[in-house]
Amino acid sequence: MNRLFGNRTAIAFLVLPGVAIMVFALIVPIGFSFYFSLTDWAGFGAFNPVGAANYKEILTADPVFWRSLVNALILMAVTIFIQNPVAFALAALLAHISQKASQIFRSIFFVPAVLSVVVITKLWVNIFNPTYGILNKLLRLAGLKSLAVSWLSNPHTALGSVIWIIIWQGFGWALLFYYTGLMTVPKEIEEAAVVDGASWPQTYTRIILPYMFPVISSVIVIDVISSLKQMEMIYLSTDGGPGQLTQFIAVYLYQKAFVASQYGYGNALSILFVVVAVGITVLVQRLFRSEGEIQ
Amino acid sequence: MKRIAALLVATLCLATGIYAQAKVTLKMGDNLPDRTSTWGAVVEQINTEFKAANPGTEIVTESYPDQPYQQKIKIYATAKQLPDVFKYWSFTSLLKPLVDGKFVVPLNMADFKKYGYIPGALESNVYGGKLYGIPVSADMWVVYYNKKLFADAGVTKLPTTIDELKALAPAFTAKGIIPMVTDGKDAWPLSITFDQLAWRISGDQTLPQKALDRKIKFTDPVFVQAAKELQDLTTKAGLFQDDLMVSDYGASRNLFGQGKAAMYLMGSWELGLGSDANFSDEFRANVDAFKFPILKNGKGKTDDLFAWYGGNYVVSASSKSKDLGVKYLQFYAQRFPTLAWASQACFPAQKVEPRSSDTPVAKSLLKIAADAKATSGTACLDLSTPQFKDDNQNAIRELCSGLITPEDFCQKLDASAEKASKQK
């Protein structure tokens, strides 16, 4: 076996299938995408090279691209600073109640995560519907008629409503990760802290949170990636509207490539999308790595 | 030995016969997912008859709602996987890119002239002097209404002006009825309405084309006023459904068909509302149509009819069964007007005879067509490049969501038209 791993040809031979898959599934499509991003191709017919014109237009004259990016950052912030703490607190609560009750609550909270995106989106689109939706009916019954608005088409509530749907579906995953993480914290550490006179906030902030750091960082990285690549939920609910207020990059590049027949432009958007996504992910991971080293 | 030889010959003949009748599958695509009623049922009937007339032919149809279907066709074109025969639209923004890319085959005009097309219908599918598609319907922009809901709300007179139309809103709202619905999510109905309003104001239907040709500007007062009227109708008049901008075609149509809305702003291809088995008998008996209202101080007349020939059928240039595809189009051209009019599914782009058994909505639409003193042709969003169409729809969405002023809207439209004129 040692001889096999000492043989460079054998190593190359063993690594080749994995590398080939990576090249054909990742590098080649990105390469093609980059090539078409330098053209004015409509998706069919002849095309002309346009150099970096598409990139220049996106970065200097396309407010929708920046709006999409800002929306992704807002979603990211809401996920990290609201969804995660709530999920963590609830997971901590579930970790301290009876196993049977915990199991029931975990199942309930995880239901949205196992439902299809189409089902969830249609469910919430119907709940938010101003004509027959249950939300406005309840608000009117409660005497809050002024709050009964058209949630998904009102410029003031559309983004919030869409983010709510996304958060609602993703909550179960965050809860599950945190609950599983909390279950791995050795009881002896907690007991030792209590013996040493630590209060429960001290136990959580000084002992459990640092112990959970790898789990928290993994959940946040997943949240960052998920915020950037939002597509189906937006496409099925608002399609980026009203105007472009709820637009996200993945939906926008699809619209440009296949609705507006600006395939070259859409590919330029996708390349920038890759750059932004990789950039932010690397940044977040570095942040956590240096934080982890300090810890 | 002779017997064996005869048996062999007979087997060979039989095998050859079977081979001769080998199945040919014609892949088709259209935007008619409902195959059990109105237009979709007519196409199914034509397919059944075509298969019977051409033994060995199988037809596999892929159907999606309007906008997803358009996107699907563009994706198929990119992947070089277009269906053999497919429904599309004759517009410059849609068909011309396929013609320029040689994705559809030219047809022989003489083969189709004999099928009684209304003058100008076939010509709407001509690019570079060649016919590329056969038109299917004559399209008019009208207002459908539910007579029972009008009576329930105490409305006895049909609105003839925009002011009268807006004045109806409180009467319906007080009864819990949505005054009017349309497809706001896809934006094109609002773009057509913008053109219609500009015509009602100016009395000149050629202005959008002139603006696209850069002879005038979209920032001219007539367009700004039309944008103001449209924004007022969609954001201030309380006329449309609250979620207009996220209501798609199916959602808005269902609100009207299920008796939740009194009026439906849509094209004459919805003639089938009067015979659609998916809706109640009461609705079908009460659905009717009236002309798009005029503006009180506008130069446009009631009988200036916004009408065009939109939908068509084309044959893919990469099809292995091109001849069979063209044969299908001929069969379609022959059978569609009879079947479509018999089931009152839509207004064919071919001559049809009025009958006493026609539904009330069909009779009204025939009268609207007969009364027309002038027609518009295609809406401006479909007269230019695909990018102009996208810009037009996005700007309309922003205008009708109250996110931009009418002046900003016109600036955006003009900038896009300027860009498109340089791309042509």
Best mutation target among A39, A153, A154, A244 (most B Cβ atoms within 10 Å) is A153
- Is-cis flag, bond preceding A242, omega within 30? yes
**Nearest-CA residue of chain A relative to B96?**
A45
Best mutation target among A57, A129, A131 (most B Cβ atoms within 10 Å) is A131
Backbone phi and psi for residue B46, each to the nearest 5 degrees, phi listed first: -60, -45
- Rounded distance between C-alpha atoms, residue A83 and residue A174, angstroms: 8
B420–A contact, CB cutoff 8 A: no
Which of B57, B119, B139, B54 has the alpha carbon at shortest distance from B309?
Answer: B139
Which of B353, B362, B326, B261 has the alpha carbon at shortest distance from B38?
Answer: B362
Is the pLDDT at B16 greater than 60, yes or no?
no
CB neighbour list of residue A140: distance below 8 Å, 6 or more residues apart: A148
Chain A: closest CA distance from residue B385 (Å): 9
Cβ distance of B75 and A258 shorter than 8 Å:
yes
Q: And the tokens for A37?
A: 């991003």
- Rounded distance between C-alpha atoms, residue B262 and residue B257, angstroms: 10
Average model confidence (pLDDT) across chain B = 91
Predicted local distance difference test score (pLDDT) of residue A285: 81
Q: Which helix (H) or strand (E) holds B123?
A: none
Confidence tier at B4 by pLDDT (50, 70, 90): low
Predicted local distance difference test score (pLDDT) of residue B153: 96
Is the pLDDT at B8 greater than 70, yes or no?
no
B-chain CB neighbours of A261 within 8 Å are 74, 97, 386-387, 390
pLDDT by residue (tens digit) across B373-423?
A: 898 988 999 899 888 999 999 999 999 999 999 999 999 999 999 999 987
Q: Are A207 and A189 in contact (CB under 8 A)?
A: yes
Mean pLDDT on B65-89:
90
Chain A: closest CA distance from residue B387 (Å): 5
Q: Are B195 and B390 in contact (CB under 8 A)?
A: no
B-chain CB neighbours of A242 within 8 Å are 245-246, 397-398, 401, 403
Predicted local distance difference test score (pLDDT) of residue B6: 57
Q: Which of residues 333-352 of B touch A (CB under 8 A)?
A: none
Is the pLDDT at B41 greater than 70, yes or no?
yes
CB neighbour list of residue A77: distance below 8 Å, 6 or more residues apart: none
What are the average pLDDT values for consecutive 10-residue runs of chain A, which has 295 residues?
Answer: 74 90 91 94 84 95 94 95 93 88 89 91 93 91 90 93 94 91 87 84 86 89 90 92 91 90 93 92 82 59
- Rounded distance between C-alpha atoms, residue B328 and residue B57, angstroms: 11
Cβ distance of A153 and B244 shorter than 8 Å:
yes
Tell me the CA end-to-end span of chain A in Å, nearest whole number: 39
Q: What are the structural domains, with CATH classification, of chain A?
A: 1-32 (no CATH), 38-121+156-294 (1.10.3720.10)
SS3 label, residue B128: coil
Confidence tier at B238 by pLDDT (50, 70, 90): very high
- Rounded distance between C-alpha atoms, residue A88 and residue A109, angstroms: 13
Q: Which of residues 242-271 of B touch A (CB under 8 A)?
A: 242-246, 255, 260
Predicted local distance difference test score (pLDDT) of residue A37: 95
Predicted local distance difference test score (pLDDT) of residue A99: 85
- The type of residue at B180 is M
Highest mean pLDDT among B18-27, B114-123, B203-212: B203-212
Percent of chain B's residues with pLDDT above 70: 95
Chain A: closest CA distance from residue B391 (Å): 8
- The type of residue at B147 is K
Cβ distance of A43 and B74 shorter than 8 Å:
yes
CB neighbour list of residue B48: distance below 8 Å, 6 or more residues apart: none
A-chain CB neighbours of B241 within 8 Å are 130-131
B107–A contact, CB cutoff 8 A: no
Predicted local distance difference test score (pLDDT) of residue A3: 67
CB neighbour list of residue B347: distance below 8 Å, 6 or more residues apart: B137, B138, B139, B140, B268, B269, B271, B365, B369
**Nearest-CA residue of chain B relative to A129?**
B243
Q: And the tokens for A95?
A: 């970790």
Q: Are B105 and B95 in contact (CB under 8 A)?
A: no
- Rounded distance between C-alpha atoms, residue A209 and residue A201, angstroms: 10
Q: Which residue has the tokens 């027609």?
A: B375
As to burial, measured by CB atoms within 10 angstroms (0-12 exposed, 13-18 middle, 19+ buried), residue B213 is middle
**Nearest-CA residue of chain B relative to A48?**
B423
Q: Are B87 and B42 in contact (CB under 8 A)?
A: no
Predicted local distance difference test score (pLDDT) of residue A261: 83
- Rounded distance between C-alpha atoms, residue A166 and residue A234, angstroms: 9
Instruction: Give B243's DSSP letter.
Output: T
**Nearest-CA residue of chain B relative to A128?**
B243
Give me the residue from B70, B77, B185 closest to A44, CB to CB. B77
Q: And the tokens for B237?
A: 């008049």
Q: What are the structural domains, with CATH classification, of chain B?
A: 24-135+310-348 (3.40.190.10), 139-307+374-423 (3.40.190.10)
Best mutation target among A44, A67, A122 (most B Cβ atoms within 10 Å) is A44
B103–A contact, CB cutoff 8 A: yes
Q: Which of residues 352-391 of B touch A (CB under 8 A)?
A: 386-387, 389-390
Question: How many of the other CB atoms lie within 10 Å of CB of B327?
Answer: 19
Predicted local distance difference test score (pLDDT) of residue A241: 84
Q: Which of residues 80-99 of B touch A (CB under 8 A)?
A: 97-98
Best mutation target among B242, B391, B422 (most A Cβ atoms within 10 Å) is B242
B190–A contact, CB cutoff 8 A: no
pLDDT by residue (tens digit) across B332-387?
A: 999 999 999 998 888 899 988 888 889 999 999 999 988 988 989 889 998 998 88
Q: Are B224 and B218 in contact (CB under 8 A)?
A: no
B230–A contact, CB cutoff 8 A: no
Backbone phi and psi for residue B205, each to the nearest 5 degrees, phi listed first: -80, -5
Predicted local distance difference test score (pLDDT) of residue B84: 97
Q: And the tokens for A15?
A: 């690594």
Is the pLDDT at B11 greater than 60, yes or no?
no
- Rounded distance between C-alpha atoms, residue B179 and residue B273, angstroms: 18
How many contacts (CB atoms, under 8 Å) link A and B?
100
Cβ distance of B242 and A131 shorter than 8 Å:
yes
- Rounded distance between C-alpha atoms, residue B11 and residue B42, angstroms: 41
A-chain CB neighbours of B382 within 8 Å are none
Q: Which residues of B160-194 are buried (b: 16+ CB within 10 A; e: fewer)?
A: ebbeebbebbebbeeeebbbbbbbbbbbbbbbbbb
Is the pLDDT at B22 greater than 80, yes or no?
no
Cβ distance of B243 and A131 shorter than 8 Å:
yes
Cβ distance of A258 and B241 shorter than 8 Å:
no
Cβ distance of B394 and A238 shorter than 8 Å:
no
Q: And the tokens for B412?
A: 């955006």
- Rounded distance between C-alpha atoms, residue B326 and residue B322, angstroms: 6
- Rounded distance between C-alpha atoms, residue A248 and residue A234, angstroms: 8
Find the chain A residues whose C-beta atoms sit closer than 8 A to any C-beta of B. 42-46, 64, 125, 129-132, 149-150, 152-153, 155, 237-239, 241-245, 255-256, 258-263
Q: Which residue has the tokens 């709510």?
A: A164
- Strand B126-127 and strand B134-135: pairing? unpaired
- Rounded distance between C-alpha atoms, residue A124 and residue A122, angstroms: 6
